[in-house]
């Protein structure tokens, strides 16, 4: 394995302040609604329900400020407009509190020189007030035009976080179609990602899109909900963002159970385009035995 370039080694020494996240049951409901839960799903939309809970992919929300606080301006030719969210891995380490105070600590994990781009992977650990680890997130972003600084070109094996998750050559075990609402991005952004790319047409146009696009992590949450509804609880989930979704389009999640893993792929029905690839969730032990 090649050593980090001096530039990357120095960047890994930058101190990143922990990010605090305070939330209530209302924030959990807002997130659940943002990824398509409805008034029929009382366990996700009514705080008085005996089974009231956050959908598992809520784990990407408390860490958002921490992961976006990692400085990237040390990269050559850094331009935030050239940044693309490439992959997301979420590991759920403990039952998810439906309200509380959490603290997230981010650090640079890996920076790869892809020639014409840089691939930057950060890790964020989110803990409760007692120091118990609740979530670990690993996010990879690609910054076009920021390559050529030397150092590692290929990433290390990070287990489930970097698995290829090839789709099996057989019919899916489950397929779920869900039409997003034209206001899906307007709702989802209230959970913390206020990037104007998802609401302002003129800003989307600068990015080369003919209208605002849905948050990648919203599609991730919708598909994660489909996996949860069909196969039960999981301890981690990973996706690669392979294409854009426009609010109002229909997401089709195709799922294959392979042992304790559910491999899935998500397409936009209207354009027959894959938007989530190399994706899988590792089921919790009891869920892996119970379903199928």
Active site residue 85: no
> Residue holding tokens 């020639």?
115
Active site residue 20: no
Of 35, 61, 134, 213, the active-site residue reads 213
Of 61, 147, 198, 236, the active-site residue reads 198
Q: Assess contact for 89 and 135: CB atoms under 8 A.
A: no
Of 36, 86, 192, 216, the active-site residue reads 216
| Complete DSSP assignment for the chain | -PPPPHHHHHHTTS----EEEEE-HHHHHHHHHHTT--TT-HHHH-TTSTT----GGGGGSTTHHHHTTS--TTSTT--GGGEEEEEEEEEE-SPPPSSEEEEEEEEEEEEEE-SSEEEEEEEEEEEETT--EEEEEEEEEEEET---S-S--S----GGGT---PPPSS--SEEEEEEPPTTHHHHHGGGS---GGGT-HHHHHHTT-SS----HHHHHHHHHHHHHHHH--EEEEEEEE-S---TTPEEEEEEEEETTEEEEEEEETTTTEEEEEEEEEEEPHHHHHH--
Active site residue 173: no
Of 27, 113, 193, 236, the active-site residue reads 193
Active site residue 198: yes
Q: Looking at the annotation, which residues are catalytic?
A: 193, 198, 213, 216
């Amino acid at each position: 394995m090649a050593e980090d370039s001096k530039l990357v080694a120095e960047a890994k020494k930058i101190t990143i302040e922990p990010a605090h996240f305070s939330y209530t049951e209302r924030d959990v409901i807002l997130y659940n609604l943002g990824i398509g839960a409805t008034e029929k799903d009382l366990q996700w939309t009514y705080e008085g329900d005996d089974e009231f809970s956050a959908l598992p992919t809520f784990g990407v929300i408390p860490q958002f400020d921490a992961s976006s606080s990692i400085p990237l301006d040390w990269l050559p030719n850094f331009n935030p407009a050239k940044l693309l969210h490439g992959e997301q891995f979420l590991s759920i380490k403990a039952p998810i509190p439906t309200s509380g105070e959490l603290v997230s600590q981010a650090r640079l994990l890996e920076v790869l020189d892809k020639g014409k781009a840089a691939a930057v992977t950060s890790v964020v650990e989110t803990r409760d007030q007692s120091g118990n680890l609740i979530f670990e997130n690993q996010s990879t972003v690609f910054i076009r035009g920021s390559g050529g600084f030397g150092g590692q070109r290929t990433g290390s094996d990070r287990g489930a976080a970097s698995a290829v998750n090839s789709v099996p050559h057989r019919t899916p075990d489950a397929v779920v179609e869900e039409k997003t609402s034209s206001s899906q991005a307007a709702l989802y952004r209230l959970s913390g990602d206020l990037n104007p790319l998802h609401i302002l047409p003129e800003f989307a146009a600068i990015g080369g899109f003919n209208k605002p696009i849905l948050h990648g992590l919203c599609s991730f949450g919708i598909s994660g909900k489909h996996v949860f509804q069909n196969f039960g609880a999981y301890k981690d989930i990973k996706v690669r963002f392979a294409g854009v979704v426009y609010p109002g389009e229909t997401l089709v999640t195709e799922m294959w159970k392979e042992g304790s893993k559910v491999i899935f792929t998500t397409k936009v029905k209207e354009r027959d385009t894959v938007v989530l690839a190399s994706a899988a969730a590792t089921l919790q032990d009891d869920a892996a035995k119970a379903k199928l």
